[in-house]
Amino acid sequence: MFYEAIFQPSKKMKYTTEAKKLAGKKIAVQDGWIIKDGPFKGQNCFYIPNSTVGWIPQCDLIGLKPISLVKWKEIEKSLGFDN
């Protein structure tokens, strides 16, 4: 599924420089998997295709909601991840 949310990185997660630049912005993410261990164990995680952001725990995504593929592609393109 395709989602949008405001990215609010937590201090528990070590994010890349690319990810830190997205803080406070609306991002387009895809559903990932359930985290098996660590401080985010049991949470769903999400990811941004075509990026080096890595996985994002659900707790770092504010206002997460499903969106259409068209809307998802618009957000992805606005952030420069439309490869």
Q: Where residue 57 falls among pLDDT bands split at 50, 70, 90? A: very high
CA dist 52 → 17, 47, 66 (Å): 9, 9, 22
| CA–CA gap between residue 30 and residue 39 (Å, rounded) | 21
| Predicted TM-score of the model (pTM) | 0.89
pLDDT of residue 52: 86
Contacts of 8 (CB under 8 A, 6+ apart): 23, 24, 60, 61, 62
Span 25-45, mean pLDDT? 95
